[in-house]
Structure 1
């Protein structure tokens, strides 16, 4: 990818403001036509010359109402399988949630949450091998997801800001559901017992949540504690990556509010 310096961009804008056509500017400065068009659009938007266009409002910057249940769910998805990317300093950041093709309902819920949280922004699905990346574009993603930063989540501190914690506390099941839908599952375990001299097979459901980040696992278990779900830690080797929910009453609660992926 070729990046064009400020001097080239300013020359292009000067020509464009003087009425030179996009294609002629692109040819004169050896810049792709799409890049010239993008520069012109940004320049016109900055000067308020785009009729009918408006900047989508941000709940954090502009005080727009926020769909808190949808945000709580989307926050859980982001902490598990999400990341924010932008290919260059001039591109609008996009939130990407990887959703497996085995669970189309989860993909629909993810897209619905994105549209509820950012109703004026562009949402799309990008096909990958075995999954789709559900994406929403907004320059305010860093306002809504301040946990974004360089490096992997489990290699840095992840902590909710006070306003995020208040939303997660008000809508704990949506937060739990988002985390389970990203890095969790509902499975059926089985065991055998000897009863009256006969071996019998017993099956029972269990929820798992697996994440390398100590901070994200603690956010999950702290929220479980608040809604009365009992949990235990299962180590993978020497690392406590897995949270298990197996008690009958707790599984029943999870089934009511979360359920298996679909």
Structure 2
């Protein structure tokens, strides 16, 4: 196994509750090495990210699918702090959705991150990573809230989403969407049907979500000023293939 993969495995086991000593035994590593990896996880370190920035190298991302997913997650419930000495990308996730936490972390690591830190707060977890190159990959970053400024994709980002609309939609719904059971009462009878909702205060981000759903052939409509709905049976079934319930 590659040394970087071993370190990530140690950090993942530590975040899942394993002690440093047990990890050292399991991976047959010196205790001080595992301690350093786990205790310093998330600290700024740009030694390995500069060569991985596909915008600076003027090449396509190594894993376009993972970038498309991360882009959707960032637009949904992410924040890029550029005022700090080293920019930090933060993606907020509900703490209960452990599979989504792992998926977002994998996308960050596959795209640029050398380390991903999990900051636990009440009911949620902020996944964060430091790199001076995050602004290269998310030019939508800027001061204030996303719904207070224009949000549009660069041509190179649109090209990636055109190739991977399902991953982009999955990132959006994993961050700011849900699959629910809608109940209506007609003539004294209760009818239930599943539907997807995506809510965001930015009209631009709602439009991007609708555009990507169109690419997938998923019927949708705006059900409120700040929300779109996917409710037709065939559309829900199609989106189930690409998103599914959160877990």
TM-score normalised to structure 2 length: 0.77
Does 1:141 find its partner at 2:126? no
Of the three residues 88, 94, 105, the one matched with 2:88 is 94
Q: Distance in 1 between matches of 2:67 and 2:233?
A: 29
The 3 A distance-change label for structure 1 pair 69 and 54 is: closer
Of the three residues 52, 56, 59, the one matched with 2:54 is 59
Deviation, 1:234, is 1.4
Does 1:68 find its partner at 2:61? no
Asked if the contact 2:49–2:133 (Cα under 8 Å) also holds between the matched residues in 1, the reply is no
Q: Distance in 2 between matches of 1:86 and 1:218?
A: 25
The 3 A distance-change label for structure 1 pair 126 and 224 is: same
* CA RMSD, 1 decimal: 1.7
Give the equivalent residue in structure 1 for 2:244.
259
Give the equivalent residue in structure 2 for 1:211.
200
Does 1:127 find its partner at 2:123? no
SS in 2 for 1:150: coil
SS in 2 for 1:147: coil
Q: Per-residue displacement from partner, 1:13-70 (whole Å, max 9, x unpaired)?
A: xxxxxxxxxxxxxxxxxxxxxxxxxxxxxxxx9xxxxxxx655311000246431000
Give the equivalent residue in structure 2 for 1:16.
none
Extract unaligned runs of 5+ from structure 2: 1-44
Deviation, 1:192, is 2.8
Q: Choose 55-64 or 106-115, whichever is displaced more.
A: 55-64
Give the equivalent residue in structure 1 for 2:105.
111
Q: Distance in 2 between matches of 1:148 and 1:229?
A: 28
Aligned residues: 200
Of the three residues 83, 91, 97, the one matched with 2:79 is 83
TM-score normalised to structure 1 length: 0.73
Of the three residues 181, 202, 221, the one matched with 2:191 is 202
Q: Per-residue displacement from partner, 1:243-262 (whole Å, max 9, x unpaired)?
A: 01000000000111110111
Extract unaligned runs of 5+ from structure 1: 1-44, 46-52
Q: Distance in 2 between matches of 1:127 and 1:75?
A: 22
Q: Distance in 1 between matches of 2:95 and 2:198?
A: 20
